[in-house]
């Protein structure tokens, strides 16, 4: 038994190191030069699904109206998903500035209200290129022009761009920023290496004709989440090599971390629920490899209480993980200009081991809370 545990522990940490080196190389290759276009021609529709966002939606709209992209080529459609606050009224107040409000009027209960909202907005849209973000996000004035410039110059059909947290109010939120940044870096690294594995719907763009060509959300619409990642997978099958990651600070979208552990766990359960729809065995193998590494770290830590050999094995393997995590995370945090958060690796490392194992099991539990609803 000791030999088996030792083998699995060394094997899992070795595999983890190889995977992170692979991602580190991919992130370095993702460096993107200037993407400004002297004369834009693409008509853009910005899509936002909003539910009870009265505190944030006005700021998001303000950022969109301040974009340096030619105003006559931008359409903004915000779908109110049965809000019970003043979200719709706030959106309506911007009607004279061209902001369009679409209010969902659905009698029957759905599981994926967000996908329905986005699909309805796309039906209404007049743009050829769709840029999706969330109602609580902020962006710089060159967000649209940077993404569209990258699109026009590279003949792409879908683009994923960086998302990060900001305005953190606690150590817990800063730890989330570090952890979330690792996921954004992973998505960008995979994509640069030719594998469209993951993305984030808060900063996601694609051609409208391609959305319809792959059948939109058909086949993934029974799942509440996945309007981003699962759509990415559908497009990747049809258009391999024509999906890009835009590694430019001007393209970053900013949002907020979860204020407490309960909301954080619900968010991660939602994300984990998408794994049941993964069809690419590489993604499944990657997730299982990371889970095995964390499980073996926890197992050797527990066994180390009773056996000094396992304690030494745990200290060696977690030390290796700490070093490779720093090697992987440093360039990502430099890009986001949040290098100071690397100090939190010491805190996030043990927390990640526990929560990653728990989420691996909870993701199989179909129901979770999202925007005041129980969905699956």
Query: Do 320 and 347 share a structural domain?
Result: yes
Q: What is the mean pLDDT of the chain?
A: 89
163 belongs to a structural domain: yes
Residue 273 included in any domain:
no
pLDDT digit string, tens, across residues 279-307: 777 888 888 898 899 999 999 999 999 99
Q: Are 16 and 149 contained in the same domain?
A: no
Domain end residue (candidates: 233, 268, 303): 268
Whether residues 10 and 135 fall in one domain: no
Do 129 and 82 have their domain in common?
yes
Q: What is the CATH number of the domain that holds 197?
A: 3.90.550.10
* Shared domain check, 51 and 145: yes
Structural domains counted in the chain: 2
Instruction: Tell whether 370 is covered by a domain.
Output: no
Please tell me the distance from the alpha carbon of residue 2 to that of residue 188, in angstroms, as a whole number: 39
Does residue 238 sit in the same domain as residue 305? Answer: no
For residue 320, give its domain range: 2-27+280-363
Which CA distances in Å does 65 have to 276, 349, 375?
38, 40, 33
Tell me if 72 is assigned to some domain. Answer: yes
Is residue 250 pLDDT above 50, yes or no? yes
The answer to whether 130 and 120 have CB atoms below 8 angstroms apart is no
The answer to whether the predicted template modeling score (pTM) of the entire model surpasses 0.85 is yes
Tell me, yes or no, whether 312 lies in a domain.
yes
pLDDT above 70 covers what percent of the chain? 91
Do 194 and 320 lie in one domain? The reply is no
Tokens (6 digits) for 212? 């319809």
Cα(204)–Cα(2) distance, rounded to whole angstroms? 47
What does the alpha-carbon distance between residue 248 and residue 254 come to, in Å, rounded to a whole number?
Answer: 13
Residues 315 and 169 in one domain: no
> What are the helix (H) ranges across the chain?
2-29, 57-65, 87-92, 113-124, 143-154, 171-192, 208-213, 229-238, 261-273, 281-303, 308-335, 345-362
pLDDT digits (tens, 9 = 90+) for 301-340: 999 999 999 999 999 999 999 999 999 999 999 999 999 9
Domain assignment of residue 242, yes or no = yes
Dihedral angle sign, alpha carbons of residues 165, 210, 67, 31? positive
Last residue of a domain, one of 218, 239, 268: 268
């Amino acid at each position: 038994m000791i030999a088996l545990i030792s083998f699995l522990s060394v094997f899992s940490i070795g595999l983890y190191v190889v995977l992170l080196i692979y991602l580190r190389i991919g992130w370095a290759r993702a460096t993107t030069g200037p993407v400004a276009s002297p004369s834009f021609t693409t008509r853009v529709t910005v899509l936002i699904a909003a539910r009870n966002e009265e505190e944030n939606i006005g700021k998001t709209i303000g950022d969109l109206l301040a974009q340096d992209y030619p105003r006559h080529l931008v359409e903004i459609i915000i779908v109110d998903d049965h809000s019970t606050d003043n979200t719709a009224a706030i959106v309506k107040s911007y009607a004279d500035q061209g902001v369009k409000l679409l209010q969902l009027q659905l009698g029957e209960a759905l599981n994926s209200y967000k996908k329905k909202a986005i699909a309805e907005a796309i039906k209404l849209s007049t743009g050829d290129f769709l840029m999706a973000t969330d109602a609580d996000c902020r962006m710089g004035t060159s967000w649209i022009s940077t993404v569209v410039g990258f699109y026009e110059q590279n003949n792409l059909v879908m683009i994923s761009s960086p998302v990060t947290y900001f305005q953190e109010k606690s150590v817990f939120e800063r730890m989330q920023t570090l952890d979330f940044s690792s996921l954004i870096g992973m998505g960008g690294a995979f994509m640069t290496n030719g594998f469209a594995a993951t993305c984030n719907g808060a900063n996601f763009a694609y051609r409208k004709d391609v959305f319809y060509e792959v059948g939109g959300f058909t086949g993934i619409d029974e799942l509440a989440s996945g309007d981003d990642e699962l759509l990415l997978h559908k497009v990747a099958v049809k258009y391999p090599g024509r999906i890009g990651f835009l590694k430019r600070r001007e393209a970053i979208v900013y949002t907020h971390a979860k204020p407490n552990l309960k909301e954080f766990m619900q968010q991660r359960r939602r994300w984990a629920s998408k794994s049941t729809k993964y069809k690419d065995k590489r993604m499944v193998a990657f997730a299982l490899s990371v889970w095995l590494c964390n499980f073996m770290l926890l197992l050797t830590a527990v066994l180390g209480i009773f056996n000094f050999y396992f304690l030494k094995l745990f200290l060696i393997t977690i030390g290796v993980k700490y070093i490779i995590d720093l090697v992987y995370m440093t360039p990502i945090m430099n890009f986001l200009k949040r290098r100071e958060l690397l100090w939190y690796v010491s805190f996030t490392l043990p927390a990640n081991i526990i929560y990653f194992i728990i989420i691996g099991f909870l993701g199989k539990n179909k129901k979770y809370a999202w925007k005041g609803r129980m969905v699956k």
